[in-house]
Amino acid sequence: MATYKAPLDDMRFVLHEVFEAEKVWAAMPATEEVTVDLADAILEEAGKMVEGLMFPLNRSGDEEGCQWNDGVVTTPTGFKEAFKTFAENGWTSLSGNPEYGGQGMPKGLAVLFEEMMHAANSSFALYSLLSNGASLAIDAHASEELKQKFLPKIYAGEWAGTMCLTEPHCGTDLGIMRSKAVPNDDGSYQISGTKIFITGGDHDLTDNIIHLVLAKLPDAPAGSKGISLFLVPKFHVNEDNSLGGANGVTCGSIEHKMGIKGSATCVLNFDDAKGWLVGNANEGLACMFTMMNYERVSIGLQGTGTGDASYQSAAAYAKDRLQGRSSDGVKNPDANADPIIHHGDVRRMLLTMRALNEGGRALAGYLGLQLDVSKFSADADAKKKAGDRVALLTPVAKSFFTDRGLEACVLGQQVFGGHGYIREWGMEQYVRDVRIAQIYEGTNGIQALDLAGRKVVRNGGKSVQAFLQDARAWLSDNASKDGVAPFADKLGQAFDLLDNITTELLEQSGKNANATNALAMEYLDIFGYVIYAWMWARMMEVAARNADQPLQKAKLITGRFYFERLLPRANALAEQLRAGSDNIMALDADAF
């Protein structure tokens, strides 16, 4: 059976010892009250909640799935009651704006909570996380009237939120969408069109669902510059905030999916549904990116969290499963076999999982704090620098977290051997559930193109140079310290590799129109392995101060494994990138 316990000790280590988050928060009025004690108390209660409320519904939710009957969607048994408890205990409002009933907790803390939720039950987590993203976009771009009317209910968990982008004929290419918005005399709009793949598009968890819908006005410019964003509730909302009748939003069906079966993925039909403009006309895509970028970081954490859940189960199984004898002598003389944890290949798989999961957790903490500074800092320069760093690293986090998360889950399944292929053990569910994370919120190939095209080629690599300047400055200050010194040269070489391969990408993109697109994935993965190396060096520097403690000792051993066994992957990827795009584009399309 699968097992999961929130890794609170490791989360506290990353948050307080590696990044000293409380010092960052103390410097900003909006977060200055978030102390070590408060953060730890929230993490502690979050751990109890995900372990006791969400995780027990993970397998049963997968077995039962969501149901659609005559336009009505029901979630698996126990979800509705659990969501009510979840909301009543304040988890739907954790990072919300306090002006409208949110708790205002910083993202540096929230990323750890989101990892826990995804590890415990990704299907259940998605309902809340989509609401969080919708409320963020409403708070950033909607009128004060709309904020007052909708945010308190979403924060309270009485209403939920979604984002509605994809249509049957268009996914990433939103410029060709067909959904229309026709103005009404009262300032509202009539929204018509069909949206597909809408996570949480309909369900029975809340009284109302607030859809953020991309559509085009009658006189809109062609392409993506003609997209506007509208707030469209499932049910009309009266002046006193009570619910009125249905608003022309119906669920045509739900998808029958490979995984996350407890999450309703819906086809939504908007038939002259009444909605309100969010932000300026024809600027909807920019407004929606506020939500999309939030969701991309969160979905990245689906990879990290699910990978950690798989690791915990695999490690427990490996300590218990008796098969064969250890190569260096009998470990269990009272039985006819030793636990498989003593076999080298099993160790390789578990350490790979652990190194990737913990590297991802550290990067999530780093990125969360950058998000906090970009949002709350009063220092204009610090705010801009943090915002630039977030823009650069968001596609890396979404893509690399989820690719490595799938890798971790497949390895966890492999540790179980034949039992990993059997449903009752839970490992194959992790593989199925995490697979979607590489696809939605922008496929990982699109994330790579965003990084290579918009964030590197378009600005001549300046954002990467700013990142490398900070990383190299840290290495210069810490290279001689105990935890870093054995790997300082390797880390410096990794920074040089990223620097050189960025130049290579710029040069190839300048010569060949296909280069940016064709080489983007290798570039992103190189970036991912290099930044994980920096995260591991930062953890090892701190761990070496108390190297005799179990957690710190394990950090130093796992970090060494990362530098010696996983970081070298970046060199192979660099060779692939240097080979260019001609070998990718040479075969005629008709020959495929």
Distance CA 110, CA 409 (A): 23
Phi, psi of 268 (to 5 degrees): -115, 135
Between residues 290 and 436, the one the model is more confident about? 436
Model confidence, pTM? 0.96
Residue 271 has a pLDDT of 97
Residues 21/369, Cβ–Cβ less than 8 Å:
yes
Task: Please give the pLDDT value at position 395.
Answer: 96
Residues 260-312 have pLDDT tens digits of 999 999 999 999 999 999 999 999 988 877 777 777 888 999 999 999 999 99
Q: Is the pLDDT of residue 172 over 80?
A: no
Contact 105, 155 (CB under 8 A): no
What average pLDDT does this structure show over 491-510? Answer: 98
Which of 534, 523, 524, 532 has its CA nearest to residue 472? 534
Distance CA(177)–CA(154), nearest Å, equals: 28
8 Å CB contact between 424 and 62: no
- Cα 11 to its chain centre, rounded Å, is 16
Percentage of the chain with pLDDT > 90? 93
Cα angle at 316 between 311 and 320, to 5 degrees? 145
Q: Are strands 159-164 and 208-215 parallel, antiparallel or unpaired?
A: parallel
Can you spell out the DSSP letters for 191-247? EEEEEEEEETSS-SSSSEEEEEEEEB-TTPPSGGGG-EEEEEESEEE-TTS-EEEE-
Alpha carbon distance 495, 490 (integer Å)? 9
User: What is the per-residue pLDDT for 288?
Assistant: 79
- pLDDT above 90 for 1: no
Give per-residue pLDDT as tens, 115-163. Answer: 999 999 999 999 999 999 999 999 999 999 999 999 999 999 999 999 9
Return the structure tokens found at 359.
């590297």
Q: Quote the tokens at residue 544.
A: 């070496």
Residues with a catalytic annotation lie at 441
Say if residues 234 and 162 touch (Cβ distance below 8 Å): no
User: What DSSP line would sit under 13-44, residue for residue?
Assistant: IIIIIIS-HHHHHHTSTTTTT--HHHHHHHHH
Answer whether 79's CB lies under 8 Å from 276's CB: no
Phi-psi domain of 223 (left: phi exceeds 0; alpha: psi -120 through 50; beta: other): left
Residue 267's DSSP bridge partners are: 253
Note the residue count of the chain: 592
**CA 195 – CA 232 distance, rounded (Å):** 13
Q: How far is CA 337 from CA 306, 322, 324, 421, in A?
A: 31, 5, 5, 23
Report the C-alpha gap between 229 and 212 in whole angstroms: 7
The residue to which tokens 């996983």 are assigned: 566
Report pLDDT for 542.
Answer: 98
